[in-house]
Chains A and B, each alone.
Chain A
Amino acid sequence: MAYILIKEDKMENRDIQVQGKKEIEAQGELTQEGPFFVPNVDIFEDNDNLVLLADMPGVSKDNVDIRIEDGQLRIQGKVSKETPGDYVLSEYSIGDYYSNFALSIIIDQSSIQASMKNGVLRIVLPKSDKSKPRKITIKSN
């Protein structure tokens, strides 16, 4: 079975910026085969919460692991490396996701919430009361 893919239509119509998957370089010996990727993340905050969104396509709700340890938030996602047939074209690699963030003390670490939908992890980190913005009214004497 030779190539089945002939050509790509270059008449592309898109306004999306492409960002390749970012592979992590191991700092020690890996206990697991295959590449690891750092998910693309958005982090934003409003008055009450800090929200982290991470793209982890292929990771289901049961295969994501979130840990808070020593003031660090660690997210890890496992994907299935099964392929349906022989490769004809490979534009992205398949591997697990791993990322690590430092949590500051202004986060109320006991009430962090996480959800997973369509391969996007969403973590809501509530700010502790003392770090919320306050309006100070000036009393007239």
Chain B
Amino acid sequence: MAIIRLKQPAYPGSGLVGGRFGKNVNVFENEMNRLFHKFFGNDMPTAYSNAFPPVNIYQDKDNIYLTAELPGMETSEVTIDIEQDGIQIRGERKIENKGENLCYSRREREGGTFSRKLTFRSKIDTNQVSAGLKDGILKVTMPKAQDSQPKKIVVKSE
């Protein structure tokens, strides 16, 4: 082995360094955060973060946005199914593995098939959805359907 990592990676927020223990503490912390948010309410729930790929969801007045980290994936390897009230992302992440004579000294990148389905409260205008994959980040833009956007009603005097 000719390459050595200098520092053991630390898991976020756990204060513990490396190893499986640190990871478990992190899972515990996620669960505590989830319960905390469930109890007190929060605008930014961090729910179910053990799924692959991890996604972020944003919205503005007109659109819902979904981003996901899919490093190394080509557009042809990701399938997106849009329904009126949800999205499903499927695919397979392939990890380069050429030849039998390779000797691995570190293997952290994971491959395999995945599938996630998310349901929204707002209806989506399915004809206007667009998706792009750039530098390993998937971004799906889903315009909200007209009837789920806030409407202004003018009160007439009689």
Binding site for B on A (CB under 8 A): 1, 3-9, 11-25, 35, 38, 40-47, 50, 52-53, 55-60, 72-73, 83-94, 99-104, 106-107, 117-120, 125, 127
Contact = CB atoms under 8 A, between A and B. Distances in A.
A83 to B, nearest CB: 6
A12 B115 contact: yes
Interface of B: 2-7, 9-13, 23, 26, 43-52, 54-60, 63-65, 67, 69-74, 85, 88, 93, 95-96, 99, 101-122, 133-137, 139, 141
B58 A12 contact: no
Contacts of B58: 83-88
B133 A118 contact: yes
Contacts of B3: 43, 50, 52, 73, 101-104, 125
Given A84-B139, A86-B58, 17 more contacts: A5-B120, A8-B118, A12-B116, A16-B111, A18-B51, A18-B52, A24-B10, A40-B109, A41-B106, A42-B104, A46-B101, A58-B135, A58-B137, A84-B58, A91-B46, A103-B3, A119-B137
